[in-house]
Amino acid sequence: MSKIFPVDAAVAASALINESKYFELYQASLDNNDAFWAEQGMRIDWIKPYSQIQDVSYAKSDLHIRWYHDGTLNVCANCVDRHLPEKASQTAIIWEGDNPENSKHITYQTLFDEVCRMANVLKSLNVSKGDRVTLYMPMIPEAVYAMLACARIGAIHSVVFGGFSADALAGRIIDCQSKLVITADFSHRGGKSIPLKKNVDDAAKIAGVSDYLESVLVVKNSEVAVDWNDSLDHWYHQKAEQVPAECPVEEMSAEDPLFILYTSGSTGKPKGVLHTSGGYLVYASLTHQYVFDYHPDDIYWCTADVGWITGHSYIVYGPLANGATTLMFEGVPNYPDSSRFWQICDKHQVNICYTAPTAIRALMREGNSYVESTSRLSLKLLGSVGEPINPEAWQWYYDVVGEAKCPIVDTWWQTETGGILISPLPGATPLKPGSATRPFFGIEPALVDGEGKELSGEAEGNLIMKRSWPGQMRTVYGDHQRFIETYFSTFEGAYFTGDGAKRDKDNYYWITGRVDDVLNISGHRMGTAEVESALVAHPKVAEAAVVGYPHEIKGQGIYTFVTLNAGLEGNEALRDELVKWVRKEIGPIATPDIIQFAPGLPKTRSGKIMRRILRKIAEDEFANLGDISTLAEPAVVEDLIANRQNKK
Ligand code: 6R9
């Protein structure tokens, strides 16, 4: 029996949704799905109102997803212009620098001026409606200006997280054929400088990139000089002086693309998840308001990076569509020390703080004094996202950070879903540590077994969604077939999430983790196949297999088994070389935690690597290897166990 934390009566009284309202609205949202979404669509401004609500088919032969598709709008106008009559002088963005001495408040008026300026710079660089623009940016306000500037002129942004390497960046530029990259000279994190512009320079030299890339726009974020290529590079501050201040918005169809965001799947190449304009914005704004119980004047902080979907939906689009004040933090949780998050809460009087279990666990390990040295009196609500939160970390977050006064919303969702699908609502949902609890309005989850048979009542199985919602991804950029195969082929007629889940007697969902070969390292998705293909690209590596293992801080760590080319011996120097290699091929977020040199890998007679066995070895479950009789060479398993590497 897990503990239950009832909804606090005072929270319920002031919240937008209480428990009975939740049940009533949830049922209505399913019973009259079109009517529900027709009404919700009106929370944003349309240029031409929609008359159509949804046009969806999950059938493999005719897969399409369209919402509000005869309406037109502009996403940037919704996030900026429409707030000007009432909120021009309200703060839209609070920016907190890596260095605690740097912070600034950006009003909606300033946001408007900056976005228009940036939009005109993009136009001056030959960017127009439908063009793809890659952003490789630090967490500085210009990253938000650039996203909104793209939306304003109808260009499609593809934000690539600054922790990806030049090679990974190049692959993403080529995949969506970007003509412009927006970057900064350096990014600052934890007192260190990361040479973003240098990585872009390296990416630009990689074969294929120059077929598309016409210009690189560089925001100056440091005093240190960088290499310059006159035929490609432009300083943002110089271009900005040469363009007009005003920029009209482009009228976009609801189903025109808004952005592409690359994410790992179970096969090698990252997928360009495509989100469109109208439905995405409705869903991001609706969930931001209800899940975080956002009230006017609340100060809201999501600690994610804009390079991830959480940053897109819950730093930028959801909050700004709602006219909120959103805090953006350039740095890391433990710099200058481990009280930084809570100091930021005090400094800016943060009411809502949304972060990830990996950060919570890392801070928990440093002890309570870093938290207790701050007041945190402004906090009302805490949020968690990215991976299952273990009950111990939940309890610490609740007791120590929130002092048992703040509900925790454990929000389950994915890059593909655009917004939160399963989560408590603070005024409506009794909490159970470790459970994402109940579906949001309009969302119909179900559990199915391996054969696709739906399970009822208390059960454990694969998590699917039986119907669409406006924030759902529309396709894999440039590969609609892959979209169909990945999400709609495993279980006929439903969206397959790739996650497993349990449902308890109270109909609460407990996400158990991925059921495919996708790892979750500190809340970041990484395909085992991506790391494997990076490793086998090394001239000394014959074969590699990658599995996850439980890691105290990161949730999962990366365990790699590497077979070297004949005649080569593994040693520490080669381990270091391989680690550096993977960091170069993919980026620091894919750094292997453990490399075990293995003379052979366990394979079936047909040559398939048996990851199940490797997973057990990585998890130290030697006694529990299951049936190994189908192995081509059972002896390799003994060698793997004997040479098991110590965990870090
Ligand atoms: C938003 C985001 C998606 C995967 C998802 C699941 C895991 C996210 C979770 C969670 C348990 C939660 N995940 N939130 N698992 N509880 N509250 O993280 O998107 O980067 O695409 O990752 O993350 O496994 O399938 P993304």
- Between the CA of 536 and the centroid of ligand 1 the distance, in Å, is 28
Residue 388: CB within 6 Å of ligand 1? yes
Rounded CA separation 283/69 (Å): 15
Crossing angle for the helix pair 33-40 and 19-31, nearest 10 degrees? 110
Q: Tell me the best of 263, 264, 385 to mutate to test the pocket of ligand 1, counting ligand atoms within 8 Å of each CB and taking the most.
A: 385
Residue 610: predicted pLDDT: 84
Torsion over CA: 590, 594, 596, 601 (sign):
negative
Lowest mean pLDDT among 102-106, 155-159, 234-238, 602-606: 602-606
Residue 385: closest CA among 326, 453, 310: 310
- Between the CA of 413 and the centroid of ligand 1 the distance, in Å, is 5
Residue 186: closest CA among 126, 137, 242: 137
Ligand 1, closest atom to CA 524?
A: 20
Rounded CA separation 645/595 (Å): 7
- Between the CA of 119 and the centroid of ligand 1 the distance, in Å, is 32
pLDDT, tens digit (0-9, with 9 covering 90-100), for 198-211 = 999 999 999 999 99
Residue 648: predicted pLDDT: 59
Ligand 1, closest atom to CA 513?
A: 24
**Atom 4 of ligand 1, nearest CA residue:** 414
SS (H, E, C) 34-85: HHHHHHHHHHCCCCECCCCCEEEECCHHHCEEEECCCCEECHHHHHCHHHHH
Rounded CA separation 592/575 (Å): 10
Residue 443: predicted pLDDT: 98
- Tell me the average pLDDT across 629-634: 77
Residue 382: predicted pLDDT: 98
Residue 392: predicted pLDDT: 93
Q: Report strand pairing: 103-107 vs 271-276.
A: unpaired
Name the band, by pLDDT with cuts 50, 70 and 90, for residue 608. Answer: confident
- Tell me the average pLDDT across 265-277: 89
Residue 262: CB within 6 Å of ligand 1? no
Q: For the chain, what percent of residues have pLDDT higher than 90? A: 90
Residue 644: predicted pLDDT: 86
How far are the Cα atoms of 33, 364, 425 from residue 553, in angstroms, in the given order? 41, 10, 27
Residue 414: CB within 6 Å of ligand 1? yes
Residue 626: predicted pLDDT: 78
Name the band, by pLDDT with cuts 50, 70 and 90, for residue 611. Answer: confident
Q: Tell me the best of 520, 522, 530, 556 to mutate to test the pocket of ligand 1, counting ligand atoms within 8 Å of each CB and taking the most.
A: 520
Q: Tell me the best of 414, 422, 429, 516 to mutate to test the pocket of ligand 1, counting ligand atoms within 8 Å of each CB and taking the most.
A: 414
- Between the CA of 410 and the centroid of ligand 1 the distance, in Å, is 10
Whether residue 379 contacts residue 346, with contact meaning beta carbons closer than 8 Å, is answered with no
- Tell me the average pLDDT across 166-185: 98
Residue 520: CB within 6 Å of ligand 1? yes
pLDDT, tens digit (0-9, with 9 covering 90-100), for 378-406 = 999 999 999 999 999 999 999 999 999 99
- Quote the mean pLDDT of the chain: 96
Residue 131: predicted pLDDT: 98
Residue 271: CB within 6 Å of ligand 1? no
- pLDDT of residue 647 exceeding 70, the answer is no
Residue 185: CB within 6 Å of ligand 1? no
**Atom 1 of ligand 1, nearest CA residue:** 414
| Stated length of the chain | 648
Rounded CA separation 494/182 (Å): 37
Query: DSSP code of 7?
Result: P
Residue 631: predicted pLDDT: 79
pLDDT, tens digit (0-9, with 9 covering 90-100), for 88-133 = 999 999 999 999 999 999 999 999 999 999 999 999 999 999 999 9
Residue 201: closest CA among 187, 185, 189: 185
- pLDDT of residue 645 exceeding 60, the answer is yes
Residue 309: CB within 6 Å of ligand 1? yes
Residue 310: CB within 6 Å of ligand 1? yes
Residue 560: CB within 6 Å of ligand 1? no
- Between the CA of 264 and the centroid of ligand 1 the distance, in Å, is 12
Q: Which residue has the tokens 């809460």?
A: 345
**Atom 2 of ligand 1, nearest CA residue:** 414
Alpha carbon 211 to its chain centroid, in Å, reads 29
Helix (H, G, I), strand (E, B) or coil at 24: helix
pLDDT, tens digit (0-9, with 9 covering 90-100), for 289-317 = 999 999 999 999 999 999 999 999 999 99
- Tell me the average pLDDT across 464-484: 98
Residue 8: predicted pLDDT: 96
Residue 95: closest CA among 114, 76, 75: 114
- Between the CA of 355 and the centroid of ligand 1 the distance, in Å, is 12
Q: For the chain, what percent of residues have pLDDT higher than 70? A: 99
Ligand 1, closest atom to CA 411?
A: 17
- pLDDT of residue 28 exceeding 70, the answer is yes
- Tell me the average pLDDT across 261-283: 92
Residue 78: closest CA among 316, 383, 255: 316
646: Cβ–Cβ under 8 A, 6 or more apart, which residues? none
Name the band, by pLDDT with cuts 50, 70 and 90, for residue 1. Answer: low
- Tell me the average pLDDT across 453-469: 97
- Between the CA of 195 and the centroid of ligand 1 the distance, in Å, is 29
Q: Tell me the best of 490, 499, 508, 519 to mutate to test the pocket of ligand 1, counting ligand atoms within 8 Å of each CB and taking the most.
A: 499
- Between the CA of 154 and the centroid of ligand 1 the distance, in Å, is 29
Ligand 1, closest atom to CA 413?
A: 1
- Tell me the average pLDDT across 14-18: 98
Over the range 88-111, which residues count as b (16 or more CB within 10 Å of their CB) and which as e?
eebbbbbbbbbeeeebeebbbbbb
Q: Tell me the best of 360, 423, 525, 556 to mutate to test the pocket of ligand 1, counting ligand atoms within 8 Å of each CB and taking the most.
A: 525
Residue 257: CB within 6 Å of ligand 1? no
**Atom 11 of ligand 1, nearest CA residue:** 388
Residue 316: CB within 6 Å of ligand 1? no
- Between the CA of 421 and the centroid of ligand 1 the distance, in Å, is 11
- pLDDT of residue 560 exceeding 70, the answer is yes
E strand segments, 146-230: 156-159, 180-184, 187-189, 192-194, 215-219
Q: Which residue has the tokens 């000279």?
A: 185
Whether residue 258 contacts residue 156, with contact meaning beta carbons closer than 8 Å, is answered with yes
Rounded CA separation 43/292 (Å): 17
